[in-house]
Chain A
Amino acid sequence: MLKRYQELPIGGVVVGGATPQLVKTGSWRSGQKPVYDQQRCIHCLLCWVHCPEATILIERGQMRGFDYEHCKGCGLCAEHCPTGAIQMLKETGGS
């Protein structure tokens, strides 16, 4: 239910943390998606640092993949990956 103007915090402020999780930005992705090669990943987590949508899945300090529901396909993770473990691949329909 969308709120009336009187019910919203002023100035467009969104109160509370981790709110990007509420928006499925993965639907914005067009063309390319990141994939990674487990053999080449050194778990430096630079991809996690640079991802603007917190889509890098981490378990016990280890890189475990991507949350494609939120990944916009911006390619920053691939750009910053020091070992070339992350590649942007052409997407052909679906996610």
Chain B
Amino acid sequence: MALKMLEREERTLLTGAEAAAHAMRQLRPAVVPVYPITPQTPIIETFAQFVADGLVDTEIINVESEHSAMSAAVGASCAGARVLTATSSQGLALMLEICYIASAMRCPIGMAVGSRALSGPINIHCDHSDSMMARDAGWIQIFCENAQEAYDLSVVGQRLAEDGRVLLPVMTIQDGFTITHSAEPVALLPDDAVAEFVGEYQALYPLLDTDHPTTQGPFALPDYYFEIKRQQVDAMANVGGVWSELQEEFAKLSGRYYRGVFEAYKLDDADYVYVILGATAGTAKVAIDRLRRQRKRVGLLKLWLFRPFPAREIAQALQGRKAVAILDRALSLGSWGPLYSEISAALNAISARPVLYNYIYGLGGRDIRPEQLMSIVNDLECEANADVQRFIGLRE
């Protein structure tokens, strides 16, 4: 049934930014406080056009900075509104102080991130240093491979954020330019189907409910701070289960099933596994297809959820493999790449631990090609020294 629907379905040529803006329109936010920044700008430009055309009834607040955007988002969310926004790079850095407050105050704000390198040196192109900087801020982080995922996971992500078992803000991350500015055929759901799927947001303690007064964001001294942080730990722990539940429901609606918390591509019999976030997973699929034609048993594990980090599921998937190449599009200077560190910790739970390799690639928008990804398997096969960080596409 779902497959038949898919065959008849119309697709629209959209950039990732436009796809995210359509999701925002269909999610019908009451308030969108936002500040433009490359490469996020086409998201809010497209959305602002929808508002100007009367297609969605939203109050856009043109603020003076991203710090103000996130502050206004927290205020509006506490008041009881569904709030969405968008940012990139330096904008996320400027928001970050308030991002921690948004999650601690349990505001399910939805934010589209067009991932871009952090300065310096100043650069406008894609890497994941902005999203990785925000990884401890208490937000759900969903990485998207393409425009279709940016649309679908914005819709599912918002309902996930607002679920009573979760109530956390969510970042839906698409690679800057590579996805935000590239047009692809995207299947959109009907407006009313999305409206029905996400429902209305009902805040637990809406500030505007003056019959039930509350104090929000109070000072929490050593006697309470720890307990309030522990509540966030529980909320994060609930995300995986709610995600799976919602994806099943979304699959019935859309015919697109995001099964599990990561995509397993040719993984079943793979001795060698690549782990990747975002758009480069598409390039890796091409590389893996070519390697498979050379009878190399290579597969891909592409994470959708980075926060919460699905450690148990990843450990199960990687148990018994010969070697795993973990590709980080960000540095954690003075240590391993962020994704590598997470996976290394996750594998403590298993005995048949594969050899892990850490590759840094694509910083500041440096291109990455299938041949480069294909050559990684040579390191894995010849059991090269795994005790060093390697750099792909760097002049050295």
Chain B interfacial residues counted at CB < 8 A = 23
**Interface residue? A94 (CB, 8 A):** no
Chain B residue nearest to A12 (CB atoms) is B228
In the A-B complex, the 5 residue pairs with the smallest Cβ-Cβ separation, listed nearest first, are A17-B213, A11-B106, A5-B227, A14-B215, A5-B230
Q: State the majority secondary structure of interface residues on B.
A: loop
* B216 in contact (CB, < 8 A): yes
Q: Which residues of B contact A5 (CB under 8 A)?
A: 226-228, 230-231, 234
B210, closest chain A residue (CB)? A17
Contact A10 B231 (CB under 8 A): yes
For the complex, is B214 an interface residue (Cβ under 8 Å from A)?
yes
Task: Find out whether the CB atom of A8 lies under 8 angstroms from the CB atom of B218.
Answer: no
B347 part of interface (Cβ distance < 8 Å): no
Chain B 202-239: CB-based contact to A (< 8 A → 1; otherwise 0) = 00110000001111111010011011101100110000
How far in angstroms is the closest Cβ of chain B from A25? 11
Q: Which of A12, A15, A16 has the most CB of B within 10 A?
A: A12
| Interface residues in B52-68 (C-beta closer than 8 Å to A) | none
The answer on a CB contact under 8 Å between B213 and A12 is no
Task: Please indicate the chain A residues that have their CB under 8 angstroms from the CB of B231 in the complex.
Answer: 5, 8, 10-11
Known: A4-B227, A8-B224, A10-B231. Contact between A16 and B213, CB under 8 A?
A: yes
Give the chain A neighbours of B212 by CB distance below 8 A. 15
Bound state CA distance, A5 and B226, in angstroms?
8
> Is B343 an interface position by the 8 A CB rule?
no
Contact B215 A13 (CB under 8 A): yes
Most buried by B among A8, A11, A14, A16: A11
With a CB–CB cut-off of 8 A, which chain B residues contact A8?
224, 227-228, 231
- Asked whether A19 is an interface residue with its Cβ less than 8 Å from the other chain, the reply is yes
**Size category, A interface:** 10 to 19
Q: Is the interface of A mostly helix, strand, loop or mixed?
A: loop
Least Cβ–Cβ distance between A83 and chain B, in angstroms: 33
Check: A90 CB closer than 8 A to any chain B CB: no
Residues of chain B at the chain A interface (Cβ within 8 Å): 104-106, 167, 204-205, 212-218, 220, 223-224, 226-228, 230-231, 234-235
The chain A residues found within 8 Å of chain B, CB to CB, are 2-5, 8-19
A12-B214 contact, Cβ under 8 Å, with A5-B227, A5-B231:
no
A28 to chain B, nearest CB (A): 11
Determine the residue in chain B with the shortest Cβ distance to A4.
B227
Could you tell me the distance in whole angstroms from the C-beta of A54 to the nearest C-beta in chain B?
13
| Contact present for A19 and B215 (CB under 8 Å) | yes
CB < 8 Å neighbour of A12 from B104, B204, B223, B235:
B104
Chain A residue, CB-CB nearest to B207: A13
Given A4-B227, A5-B231, A11 contacting B213 (CB threshold 8 A): no
**Complex Cα–Cα for A4 and B235 (A):** 16
Q: Could you list some 22 contacts between A and B, CB below 8 A? A: A3-B227, A4-B227, A5-B228, A5-B230, A5-B231, A8-B224, A10-B235, A11-B105, A11-B167, A11-B228, A12-B105, A12-B217, A12-B224, A12-B228, A13-B214, A14-B214, A14-B215, A15-B212, A16-B213, A16-B214, A17-B213, A18-B213
Question: Considering the chains assembled together, what is the distance between the CA atoms of A25 and B104 in angstroms?
Answer: 24
A-chain residues with CB within 8 Å of residue B234 when the two chains form the complex: 5
Q: Are A13 and B227 in contact (CB under 8 A)?
A: no
Task: List residues of chain A with CB within 8 A of the CB of B224.
Answer: 2, 8, 12
Q: How far is the CA of A67 from the CA of B104 in the complex (A)?
A: 33
Complex alpha-carbon distance, A80 and B63, angstroms:
30
- B-side contacts of A4, CB under 8 Å: 227
Identify which of A11, A15, A17 contacts B104 (C-beta below 8 A): A11
Task: Given contact pairs A5-B228, A11-B105, A15-B212, enumerate 20 new A-B contacts (beta carbons under 8 Å).
Answer: A3-B227, A5-B226, A5-B227, A5-B234, A8-B227, A8-B228, A9-B205, A10-B204, A10-B231, A11-B205, A11-B216, A12-B104, A12-B216, A12-B220, A13-B204, A13-B214, A14-B215, A14-B216, A15-B205, A16-B214
Give Cα distance in the complex from A12 to B167, angstroms. Answer: 13
